[in-house]
Amino acid sequence: MDDHPSIEQELRVVKRVNEAISLAPDVEAVASSILDIIIDETKAENASLMMPTQDMSRLEIRAAKGKLDDYSRYSENTIGQVFSIGEGIAGMVGLSKEPIIIEDARNDPHFQPRDVKVKIGSLLAVPLIYGKNELVGILNLSHSRPNMFSEKDLSLIKFFAAPAVLALRNARMMNDIESINRILREDLSMTDKAMEELRKNALKLFNYLSIGILAVDSDGVITGINKKAIDLVGLKAGQSIYPILTEETIKRLVLDESNHSADISLHGRVLNIECTPIPFRPSWHTLISVRDITAERFKEEKLLRIRDQYKDLVENAIDAVYIIRDGRFILTNKRFQDMFGYTSEELFGLHFRHLITTSSLREISKGLKKSKDSNFFVSNLEIEAIKKNKDTIYVEVSIGSLMVEGKPAFVGMVRDITIKKQLLNIKTRFLHVASHEIRTPLTVIRGYAKMLMKQESARLTDEQKEWVREIKEHSDKLLLFTNTLLDFARINAGKLNIRRQPTNILELLQHMTRSLQIHANEKGISLVLEADTDLPEINVDPLKIEEAITNLVENAIKHSPENSTVRIYLNKIETTNTDYIHRLLGQDSISIRVVDQGPGIKPEEAKEIFSEFYVGERGSNKQGIGLGLAITKEIIHAHGGKVWAEPSGKGGQFVMTIPLNTQAT
């Protein structure tokens, strides 16, 4: 059973949470929206939101909704039970700041049954934490029957807990600030005493914010400061602000009535300071907000180091290349940026979900779920992508795992196959139609030919019997041709089904060599296999790989002179000798080379020899329709590998590489 919510459900929830955030500063609307999501997306019959009191000693139910309720109930005061921190299930979660699933509430020692109308059989409680340790609230989900909540429900709540916390905090903060602004706008001609009282009340409201707030008079003396600011700047009310901001800065703010923002280093931290002059009477004050951005700066510097570390390798790549960590792009090259229409700065930190369709997200998720090895490589996944201008394109993407600064990341390359996809669709339809149109009359011709050959009573002359035999022989060849066309049409249609399994490649090649030697004996050709003996198993489709290698070896036999030798080399390639994407992944490959003693391959022929229906000079006087090597290319490509011909003046040489630790796509 899957312990994680589906991609569709996650996307649906993200959309609704974003809508909840937009409802700020209406705290009631935000809280109601969060409870609506819980009731709609989980098995909960009832849901409630508990918030801590100002002194953080108790938890009060502020909002609640049942499955049968049309609307949520909300109040700035408690609308239900109150628990002390550490008391009952909610109090225990508030104290530990860890979620809990109670499968059977009746038998749980922490559950406190009270005189309530709601019957509780099972319970899920999740803390809403801002930053490292600030308790914003607790979400309680309940059901009348036991054993109704699972890890999947917990994963879903955790999934949107962070944005839910921000939505609630932002709503409360904006609501408080809105109240202050409303009072300020009401009457600027208030008495000095009333204005002083307002200033004190405003600072009281700010005292519990997660950012530092302090007020400074025109002489630079701190007239009010909240707890967070005391912790960050190490100053108290009555002290001078000048150790942090210069006297000139404070006076210029008042004179120009302008804002000021700066990053400073203090006590081993990086602080962002924003200053705004406020016309408090009898003199101007400066309102200063202070945020600890040490972690942000550290993260930025760390990401810049990562970008510098991989920049040359990624920028020099022929294909579009990306590196993603925590779902966000940390490095892309120029080809990737041009493909999607974004600048490097716009992509940096952007979540990859913005660049793909919902269906493609499912395909990627499906591919990654099959990856059991931490060192995997998912190759040639065809998906729909979205450019910045909202145009949809088809791309072929490869995904590999990479450890970046001790954290898991994804790296890969992307190819735009939109035009190729359109042409392939046209070609595939034509091949299907052509093949079927040929097979239908061909089946009839072959049938009559076979019947005439078997029928002893047929009054045929020897010459006529030879004609029938030739009809049958050429019909068989034509049938083989149409079957090959259909196979290739299926591959072009994306129906090449790869069934990977751990495979001993050396044993596979030894078996193939023995089987193909029978065919090679007809020309007196010897097949020689030279292989490394310490090769690991590779994760491939053995039948498809056998077909691909057989095509290469049979091609070599066909073009070799009689009584010659065809050599097959099997070796492991170290990372440094493979292409850029596998170097980035630190991923080794195996190499299979087939070398014959036939005519050489010209450079221009080597470029085209794997194209469909191509018959080069090596095959000009031979039988064949030019699809065997094209099929080989598609099979190896589907395994994340490469295949090519080495140009040479004498003797043909074909090479294929297959990366280790690849996963099924």
**96: in domain:** yes
- Is the predicted pLDDT of residue 528 greater than 90, yes or no? yes
Coil, helix or strand at residue 544: helix
Do the beta carbons of residue 25 and residue 175 sit within 8 Å? yes
Tell whether 172 and 36 lie within a shared domain.
yes
Longest dimension (CA), the chain: 128
Domain final residue pick, 272, 292, 312: 292
Tell whether 513 and 651 lie within a shared domain.
yes
Coil, helix or strand at residue 588: coil
Predicted confidence (pLDDT) per residue in 333-359, tens digit: 888 999 999 998 888 878 888 888 877
Tell whether 28 and 144 lie within a shared domain.
yes
Nearest to 97 by CA among 57, 137, 60: 137
Look over the chain and give the mean of its residue pLDDT values, rounded to a whole number: 78
Tell whether 249 and 230 lie within a shared domain.
yes
Tell whether 151 and 35 lie within a shared domain.
yes
Predicted confidence (pLDDT) per residue in 364-404, tens digit: 777 666 554 555 667 778 888 999 998 989 898 888 877 77
Do the beta carbons of residue 287 and residue 254 sit within 8 Å? no
**φ, ψ dihedrals at 392, nearest 5°:** -100, 135
Average pLDDT, integer, range 55-81: 83
Query: Can you give the CATH number for the domain in which 449 is found?
Result: 1.10.287
Query: Can you give the CATH number for the domain in which 13 is found?
Result: 3.30.450.40
**431: in domain:** yes
Predicted confidence (pLDDT) per residue in 304-329, tens digit: 666 666 666 666 677 888 888 878 88
Tell whether 80 and 27 lie within a shared domain.
yes
- The alpha-carbon radius of gyration of the chain (Å, integer) is 36
**φ, ψ dihedrals at 404, nearest 5°:** -115, 115
Tell whether 656 and 529 lie within a shared domain.
yes
Containing structural domain, residue 528: 501-663
Handedness of CA 374, 380, 383, 385 (dihedral sign): positive
**1: in domain:** no
**318: in domain:** yes
Tell whether 434 and 404 lie within a shared domain.
no
Q: Tell me how many domains the chain contains.
A: 5
Q: What is the pLDDT of residue 189?
A: 47
- Is the predicted pLDDT of residue 455 greater than 90, yes or no? no
Q: What is the pLDDT of residue 14?
A: 73
Domain final residue pick, 262, 292, 322: 292
Given pLDDT bands bounded at 50, 70 and 90, which one contains residue 491? low
408 beta partners? 403
- Is the predicted pLDDT of residue 457 greater than 80, yes or no? no
Domain final residue pick, 416, 451, 473: 416
Least confident of 367-371, 583-587, 653-657: 583-587
64 beta partners? 48, 73
The more confidently predicted of residues 12 and 625 is 12
List b or e across 449-458, with b for residues whose CB sees 16 or more CB atoms inside 10 angstroms. Answer: beebeeeeee
**252: in domain:** yes
Query: Can you give the CATH number for the domain in which 536 is found?
Result: 3.30.565.10
d(CA 594, CA 578) in angstroms, rounded, equals 18
- CA distances for 542 relative to 476, 498, 508, 640, angstroms: 28, 9, 8, 15
- Is the predicted pLDDT of residue 620 greater than 50, yes or no? no
For residue 282, cis peptide bond before it (omega within 30 degrees of 0): yes
**2: in domain:** no
Tell whether 484 and 579 lie within a shared domain.
no
565 beta partners? 526
List b or e across 488-504, with b for residues whose CB sees 16 or more CB atoms inside 10 angstroms. Answer: bbebbeeebebebeebe
The tokens for 445 are 């011709």
Average pLDDT, integer, range 253-282: 77
**182: in domain:** no
d(CA 553, CA 562) in angstroms, rounded, equals 15
Q: What is the pLDDT of residue 583?
A: 53
d(CA 497, CA 432) in angstroms, rounded, equals 18
Tell whether 479 and 508 lie within a shared domain.
no
**42: in domain:** yes
Tell whether 43 and 128 lie within a shared domain.
yes
Tell whether 150 and 234 lie within a shared domain.
no
Given pLDDT bands bounded at 50, 70 and 90, which one contains residue 430? low
Do the beta carbons of residue 48 and residue 80 sit within 8 Å? yes
- Is the predicted pLDDT of residue 213 greater than 70, yes or no? yes
How many CB atoms sit inside 10 A of residue 472's CB?
17
d(CA 366, CA 372) in angstroms, rounded, equals 12
At 369, the amino acid letter reads K
Do the beta carbons of residue 607 and residue 614 sit within 8 Å? no
d(CA 552, CA 636) in angstroms, rounded, equals 12
Strand 662-663 with 377-386, pairing:
parallel
Share of the chain above pLDDT 90, in %: 11
Query: Can you give the CATH number for the domain in which 259 is found?
Result: 3.30.450.20
